[in-house]
Chains A and B, each alone.
Chain A
Amino acid sequence: MNNIAYLVPLFPLLGFLINGLFRKSLSKGTIGIIGCGTILLSFIVSLILFFDVKANGGVVVNYFNFIDVASFQIPFAFQIDQLSVIFLLIITGIGFLIHLYSTSYMHDESSEHFGRYFAYLNLFVFSMLLLIMGANYVIMFIGWEGVGLCSYLLIGYWFKNINYTNAAKKAFVMNRIGDLGFLLAVFWLLSKLGTANYVDVFEQASTGLSSTDVTAITLLLFVGAMGKSAQIPLYTWLPDAMAGPTPVSALIHAATMVTAGIYMIARSNVLYSLSPLTQDVVAVIGLATAILSATIALFQNDIKKVLAYSTVSQLGFMFLALGVGAYTTGVFHVMTHAFFKALMFLGAGSVIHAMGGEQDITKMGGLVKKLPITAWTFVIGVLAISGFPFTSGFVSKDEILLAVLAHSPVLFWFAVFAAILTAAYMFRLMMLVFFGGFRGTHEQEHHLHESPSAMTIPLIILGVLSLIGGFVQLPHVFGGEDFFNQFLAPIVPAVTHEGAEAATLEYYLLGGTIVILVIVYVVTKKLFAVDRFDGVYTGFKKVLADKWYIDELYNAVIVNPLDKLAGFLKNVVEKSGIDGIVNGVGKFVNYASRQLRLLQSGQVGNYILFMVLSIAVLFLVFWNQEIIVQFLQKIF
């Protein structure tokens, strides 16, 4: 069955080619069918692969040698195993729902741009699948760059708006910084082990690499993950990336691409487990990111910005899990997060759609009456992310917290704090958007409507998944089967929480969560389910609303000095230095040719005289060639 693995990325690639090349002649309907259909086919193949892997275990499928130089080979190979099939299902499954949703959401675009949108989206899915399926770091890097490119293209999809293209550039540059780390890590690996194949690298890691090597490689890989998965200090591009169409934010900047860093570390768990230092770095940065962005999310007034910071924060949770060695838990949270965050982004899209493009939540309110499906599915998403008992988010987040507690109580309390903040900003968002009174204009109120079914069906499916998606990994104490961890066990050693102590802790967490959520509900309902809300902040709240001035800090410390240096190089070094040299050479050549022209007198007598002289010189020079050989060797 594994010989059909290549079909998974092939379908989206075909979709990209068809939609990209023929976007001017195809109708929107055809483009939509090709765009969604290819992903659906990929999903079906992924399902087949999933059941195959479940029954027979993972394999590496070699296709051809991508690089073949002397003794050094990089095969073009796919690794189809437990870890990759889970990601395949997430990407193609949620990808399909979001493609379906897009057919309706993007319907106002002209046919050509509609085709461009779906071409990019298909190309993204193709690249992401390559990233996941590649059986070595080089193929992963191809996908890694590919998704970066698609992210850039889609953030800047409305390229006529200069702010959007700037956001796209910012995302691209930030990602490139991370990519450099990734590349260096791969080079380091290649130079030490001579191979980038996962299987070989993990087999030789403990013997072939010194502890310094491992630490350096894992840290550099993590730099790559920082860029792609928006962690401190490279996270600032993700909130700006909300410039792209909302389904793009849902697919790329919430559910799939930004989790590439988690996938990469989970894939490299053998390496990371060899370096406790890197693990601590990952955990601390993850937790710091989770808290920092949660505080920022508390005071944002743009519906997508809140969700963006929330994504950064949740990614921080995942890295925290990876950092404390709970790799399966991190991956599990990727999955549940993909459900509820995609759900909320699509819900936000539905709201924006209904509000005629309005994203400011101070102008919304009470939308539950006009958009019931959107509102109630959104509520499910909020409950899931806040960890409401037995939703998917509850299962994954509790598992993270338990893993952190087993590792370090201090980190645990910080993580709990971040979780409380999560509930707070999410309930605030929910209250401001869906409850209280409507605060927008009459015209907007008049136009409010529930979205068409192409948009609500994905919402409902994701809502159901957000509710029950956690049951695959329900704790034993609640009668769960631990299916997810056991499925991943051949690739990633699972951390299990067994025994009475774990059970007690589970009950404490269950109780604590309920108490916190009730408090948050009461407080936010009072504060935010209101008829009037100005959204203006002062004092410390303003610092948070202005995102801790991190962007301004980066501008002052990095961007401006670089600009100044570039200006110096351009105006001083290039103008007077390099230009001077280049022009000088040109002038010299001109001068030399003017002088030499005198030779060409037009007199045959002179020509012959010159030839005779030349022969004499040649003979003298070669008369004793030892001399000339030595002379030439001295010069050159």
Chain B
Amino acid sequence: MLNDFFILMKFELLPAVIFFVLLFIKVGTAELSNASIIRLANILLFINLVAGFFYNKDGGMFGDMFHTNALIVLQKSILNLGIFIVSLQAEAWLRTHKHVIEFYLLLLSSLMGMFFMISGANLLMFYLGLELATIPLAALANFDLEKRKSSEAAMKLIMSSAFSSGLLLFGISLMYGTTGTLGFAQLPALLNGSNLQVFAFVLLFAGFAFKISVVPFHLWTADVYEGAPVPVTSFLSVVSKGAFIFVFASVLYTVFKPLADTWYHMLFLLSVLTMVIGNLFALRQQNIKRMLAFSSIAQMGFILIGISGSSQAGTASAVYFVLVYVFTNLAAFGVVALVSAQTGKEDITDYKGFHATNPVLAWVLAIALFSLAGVPPTAGFFGKFFLIMAGAAKQNYWLITIAALNMIVSLYYYLNLVKALFMDANASPVPKITFGVYAKLAIVICIAGMVLSGLASVVYEYIYNLSTGF
């Protein structure tokens, strides 16, 4: 029994252990340098990542409040990988920061919250995990302590998060009111599509939509992404979003299966809105972080298409896309973070002639942009391909056509940046960026991931076999 406890909750326990190790260092007397703290934290996160692959087991605990299975393990490992890369990339920024340990403490609490949320088999458990995942994020957004914009971002995040939590909680209580249960296993049988249930579902749906920045619940995204420190932005856009997508897909497929007709049309409507508006906004952005923020909104629209397929391929393609997105978006944000940390430049025009001074970084960013745009043979192409394939199974070709047109629009702003990197002349380009071993490692992981997860078909097949259908 105890053995089961450790194995089933391994993913949640490991961050807790690391959390306490770091906390003891903080309160202890030993004065460690930033460099050694970062080294220690990264080693621990690496161990955390590797440990996730061994001794896994399916099962449930706490009277069906908590459950885990092979797909959930994979999802958590993807998040572990994401946080490891984020931590590697944060090194350039944290090196001189006064509160390194706090950064990691907040990051780990948030991660733990996500894991509980993913493993939650009860709306209450899910809600607790979600709150634990969200609240540290607001503190993290404020982590550039001297910058006004950072504080502004934190305020906006916490206020709108609080609002969305309110929505979720309201939805959950209405759900409980109509069904008398919060358990995932019991709910489907009790859902009958009454107006009150639909209303509760809309509230829950809106809460999720807020978390994964689906239009029209996306408005906070750009402001927060722009103001927050770049590593936090990349954590928000990749790890946090990924966690919510995992939960969203599985909740829709299992708990709200009886309302499939409703949410299919909702997904259809919101995915179109999200792709179109995300792209239209991205077109006009001058700040590279805002541009990436809106592009990530547009990407969410594509994920909704895959989820709308309501099939095994729907789950598999969404999970696969998140994996690809971890590599791709972190590659892009990694370069942006380096440039931002060393020069403070964040405008697209600043990137003109970037290739002349920083050929390696320019290529990394270009490959990431191609992958975001879905250009073969990068993994981004396969990610979008599988999403659209999953969506096409519903034979809703209008949705597919709109998605294809949106990919063309998105090419414009991605290629515009590539053009700036390689072709535009600039009298004073970004100076030569120096990057250490952490950033190098992050870049190698991202590039290898972008190439391999696309070309190695076993990756998708593996995910597909773990996924469950409708």
Which of A590, A604, A610, A623 meets B156, CB within 8 Å? A604
Which of B195, B219, B268 meets A623, CB within 8 Å? B195
Report the separation of the CA atoms of residues A434 and B211 in the bound assembly, to the nearest whole angstrom: 92
B180 close to A (CB within 8 Å): no
Smallest CB gap from A621: residue in B: B269
Which of A604, A614, A619, A621 meets B159, CB within 8 Å? A604
Report the separation of the CA atoms of residues A592 and B198 in the bound assembly, to the nearest whole angstrom: 33
Smallest CB gap from A628: residue in B: B265
Given contacts A589-B409, A611-B217, contact A625 B261 (CB under 8 A): yes
Smallest CB gap from B193: residue in A: A625
Report the separation of the CA atoms of residues A618 and B265 in the bound assembly, to the nearest whole angstrom: 11
Instruction: Note all chain B residues with C-beta closer than 8 A to A607.
Output: 156, 160, 219-220
Q: Check if A602 sits within 8 Å of B262, measured CB to CB.
A: no
Q: Mark A625-636, 1 if CB is under 8 A from B, else 0.
A: 100110010001
A180 to chain B, nearest CB (A): 31
B88 close to A (CB within 8 Å): no
Instruction: Note all chain B residues with C-beta closer than 8 A to A602.
Output: 223
Instruction: Note all chain A residues with C-beta closer than 8 A to B333.
Output: none
Report the separation of the CA atoms of residues A615 and B206 in the bound assembly, to the nearest whole angstrom: 7
Q: Most chain-B Cβ atoms within 10 A of its Cβ — which of A604, A621, A629?
A: A604
Q: Check if A618 sits within 8 Å of B156, measured CB to CB.
A: no
Q: Check if B198 sits within 8 Å of A610, measured CB to CB.
A: no
Q: Check if B198 sits within 8 Å of A622, measured CB to CB.
A: yes
Q: Check if B199 sits within 8 Å of A597, measured CB to CB.
A: no
B357 to chain A, nearest CB (A): 31
A500 close to B (CB within 8 Å): no
Q: Check if A596 sits within 8 Å of B198, measured CB to CB.
A: no
Q: Check if B216 sits within 8 Å of A614, measured CB to CB.
A: yes
Where chain B touches its partner, the secondary structure class is helix
Q: Check if B283 sits within 8 Å of A618, measured CB to CB.
A: no
B371 to chain A, nearest CB (A): 23
Q: Check if A614 sits within 8 Å of B265, measured CB to CB.
A: no
Interface residues of B in 210-257 (CB under 8 A from A): 210, 216-217, 219-220, 222-223
Instruction: Note all chain B residues with C-beta closer than 8 A to A604.
Output: 155-156, 159-160, 220
A111 to chain B, nearest CB (A): 35
A557 close to B (CB within 8 Å): no
B125 close to A (CB within 8 Å): no
Where chain A touches its partner, the secondary structure class is helix
Q: Mark B164-195, 1 if CB is under 8 A from A, else 0.
A: 10010000000000000000000000000001
Smallest CB gap from A616: residue in B: B202
A608 close to B (CB within 8 Å): yes
Interface residues of B in 22-45 (CB under 8 A from A): none
For B, the interface residue count at a CB cutoff of 8 angstroms equals 35
Q: Mark B135-166, 1 if CB is under 8 A from A, else 0.
A: 00000000000000000000110011001100
Instruction: Note all chain A residues with C-beta closer than 8 A to B219.
Output: 599-600, 606-607, 610-611
Which of A589, A608, A625, A629 meets B280, CB within 8 Å? A589
Report the separation of the CA atoms of residues A623 and B197 in the bound assembly, to the nearest whole angstrom: 10
Q: Check if A614 sits within 8 Å of B206, measured CB to CB.
A: yes
A442 close to B (CB within 8 Å): no
Which of A599, A600, A615 meets B202, CB within 8 Å? A615
Report the separation of the CA atoms of residues A594 and B280 in the bound assembly, to the nearest whole angstrom: 8
B284 close to A (CB within 8 Å): yes
Report the separation of the CA atoms of residues A596 and B273 in the bound assembly, to the nearest whole angstrom: 12
Smallest CB gap from B216: residue in A: A614
Smallest CB gap from B276: residue in A: A592
Smallest CB gap from B198: residue in A: A622
B74 close to A (CB within 8 Å): no
Instruction: Note all chain B residues with C-beta closer than 8 A to A212.
Output: none
Which of A594, A623, A625 meets B265, CB within 8 Å? A625
Instruction: Note all chain B residues with C-beta closer than 8 A to A600.
Output: 219, 222-223, 281
Smallest CB gap from B222: residue in A: A600
A593 close to B (CB within 8 Å): yes
Q: Check if B223 sits within 8 Å of A597, measured CB to CB.
A: no
Q: Check if A590 sits within 8 Å of B203, measured CB to CB.
A: no
Report the separation of the CA atoms of residues A615 and B214 in the bound assembly, to the nearest whole angstrom: 12
Q: Check if B163 sits within 8 Å of A608, measured CB to CB.
A: yes
Q: Check if A611 sits within 8 Å of B210, measured CB to CB.
A: yes
Interface residues of A in 574-615 (CB under 8 A from B): 589-590, 592-594, 596-597, 599-600, 602, 604, 606-608, 610-611, 614-615
Q: Check if B199 sits within 8 Å of A619, measured CB to CB.
A: yes
Instruction: Note all chain B residues with C-beta closer than 8 A to A614.
Output: 206, 216-217
Report the separation of the CA atoms of residues A592 and B265 in the bound assembly, to the nearest whole angstrom: 25
Instruction: Note all chain A residues with C-beta closer than 8 A to B262.
Output: 622, 625
B114 close to A (CB within 8 Å): no
Report the separation of the CA atoms of residues A632 and B262 in the bound assembly, to the nearest whole angstrom: 13
Q: Check if B159 sits within 8 Å of A592, measured CB to CB.
A: no
B122 to chain A, nearest CB (A): 24
Q: Check if A611 sits within 8 Å of B265, measured CB to CB.
A: no
Instruction: Note all chain B residues with C-beta closer than 8 A to A629.
Output: 261, 265
Report the separation of the CA atoms of residues A608 and B156 in the bound assembly, to the nearest whole angstrom: 10
Q: Check if A594 sits within 8 Å of B284, measured CB to CB.
A: yes
Smallest CB gap from A601: residue in B: B219
Q: Most chain-B Cβ atoms within 10 A of its Cβ — which of A590, A608, A622, A629?
A: A622
Q: Check if A618 sits within 8 Å of B206, measured CB to CB.
A: yes
Instruction: Note all chain B residues with C-beta closer than 8 A to A636.
Output: 396, 398
Report the separation of the CA atoms of residues A615 and B164 in the bound assembly, to the nearest whole angstrom: 11
Report the separation of the CA atoms of residues A363 and B220 in the bound assembly, to the nearest whole angstrom: 87
Which of B155, B163, B210, B281 meets A596, CB within 8 Å? B281
Q: Most chain-B Cβ atoms within 10 A of its Cβ — which of A608, A611, A628, A636?
A: A611
Instruction: Note all chain A residues with C-beta closer than 8 A to B217.
Output: 611, 614
Given contacts A604-B159, A611-B210, contact A622 B265 (CB under 8 A): yes
Which of B202, B205, B266, B280 meets A593, CB within 8 Å? B280
Smallest CB gap from B162: residue in A: A608
Report the separation of the CA atoms of residues A607 and B162 in the bound assembly, to the nearest whole angstrom: 13
Instruction: Note all chain A residues with C-beta closer than 8 A to B280.
Output: 589, 592-593, 596
Instruction: Note all chain B residues with C-beta closer than 8 A to A628.
Output: 265
Given contacts A604-B220, A611-B206, contact A589 B265 (CB under 8 A): no
Q: Check if B198 sits within 8 Å of A619, measured CB to CB.
A: yes
Which of A596, A615, A632 meets B203, CB within 8 Å? A615
Report the separation of the CA atoms of residues A614 and B217 in the bound assembly, to the nearest whole angstrom: 8
Which of A590, A611, A619 meets B216, CB within 8 Å? A611
Instruction: Note all chain A residues with C-beta closer than 8 A to B202.
Output: 615, 618-619, 622
Instruction: Note all chain A residues with C-beta closer than 8 A to B268.
Output: 632
B85 close to A (CB within 8 Å): no
B277 close to A (CB within 8 Å): yes
Smallest CB gap from B282: residue in A: A593
Instruction: Note all chain B residues with C-beta closer than 8 A to A594.
Output: 284
Which of B156, B199, B220, B283 meets A589, CB within 8 Å? B283
Smallest CB gap from A599: residue in B: B219
Instruction: Note all chain B residues with C-beta closer than 8 A to A622.
Output: 198, 202, 262, 265-266
Report the separation of the CA atoms of residues A120 and B222 in the bound assembly, to the nearest whole angstrom: 58
B151 to chain A, nearest CB (A): 13
Report the separation of the CA atoms of residues A625 and B267 in the bound assembly, to the nearest whole angstrom: 13
Instruction: Note all chain A residues with C-beta closer than 8 A to B222.
Output: 600
Q: Check if B206 sits within 8 Å of A632, measured CB to CB.
A: no
Report the separation of the CA atoms of residues A604 and B220 in the bound assembly, to the nearest whole angstrom: 7
10 sample A-B contacts, Cβ–Cβ < 8 Å, listed by A number: A596-B277, A597-B281, A600-B281, A607-B220, A611-B160, A611-B210, A611-B216, A622-B198, A623-B195, A625-B198
Known: A593-B281, A611-B164, A619-B199. 8 other contacts (CB 8 A): A593-B283, A596-B280, A600-B222, A606-B219, A615-B206, A621-B269, A625-B262, A636-B398
List the 5 shortest-distance A-B pairs measured between CB atoms, nearest first. A593-B280, A607-B219, A614-B216, A636-B398, A619-B202
